[in-house]
Amino acid sequence: MPRQHHRVTGTLLAATLAGIPLLPVTATAAPTSDSTAEIFTFADQADGSLDTPVGTSTLARDKSGISATFRTGQLRADHAYTLWIVVFNRPENCAQPCNEDDIFVGGDPRGPMNTATIKAADIHAVYGGGKVADASGTTRIDTHLPVRDASREDLLAKVNPGAALKETQGAEVHLVLRSHGPKISGQVEEQLGSYAGGCTTFLHPPAVPKNEGECADLQFAVHPPQARAAR
């Protein structure tokens, strides 16, 4: 099956964290089907190699919402990780393919957010769960996002208030795994429950968090739309 090329979103909190120089992240993914996609690292993307997947992501869609399972490895044992669901409700309005240019002007998180395209593509970027990696450096995060659910932390809420998953079959879905570094005593719940939980230093690929307080987006998978609904 020919590889399909996509650029995936990264570092989505840039516009809300004043004074932190976050850099754009671009990547290419090769999903094997609508429901299964390989997981790659942003570090591999940064050096131009996406030949070795580190895990597999599955996505199921029905009228009530989407359910995903993110199984991955090559993580640091006892580090905290969160999963983020980036929904492009109207991918036909993306720059093609959907990528960070649709979220930041010029694709640069240090600049302003691309308000027009965020609204045109109806982008929603929400929390999908958190886990601590086991001793083997692996983890599995299962998540479900119901249609019209606007109750979770949404990284784009200030730009696209009230956004939610609108129609499951036509949406493009990017799953992003974020590292919050080693477990911090008294802060594990926070690390596993929010984008900036436990973060004091924001790193960029190919850097990987090693110390307490270091955070970075590490891995991603892309699930293209199953069918583009009539608008």
Question: What confidence category does residue 117 fall into, taking pLDDT thresholds of 50, 70 and 90?
Answer: very high
Look at residue 31 and tell me whether its pLDDT is greater than 70. Answer: no
Domain ranges of the chain: 14-223
Going by C-beta distance under 8 Å and a sequence separation of 6 or more, which residues neighbour residue 142?
67, 68, 69, 70, 129
**Cβ neighbours, 10 Å, residue 107:** 18
Of 12-16, 198-202, 212-216, the one with minimum mean pLDDT is: 12-16
| Lowest-confidence region among 66-80, 101-115, 149-163 | 101-115
Tens-digit pLDDT profile for residues 156-206: 999 999 899 999 999 999 999 999 999 999 999 999 999 999 999 998 778
Write down the pTM of the prediction: 0.84
Supply the DSSP string of 96-125, one letter for each residue.
SS--GGGTBGGG-TTS-B-HHHHHHTTEEE
- Could you give phi then psi for residue 14, rounded to 5 degrees? -55, -45
Q: Please, what CATH class does the domain formed by 14-223 belong to? A: mainly beta
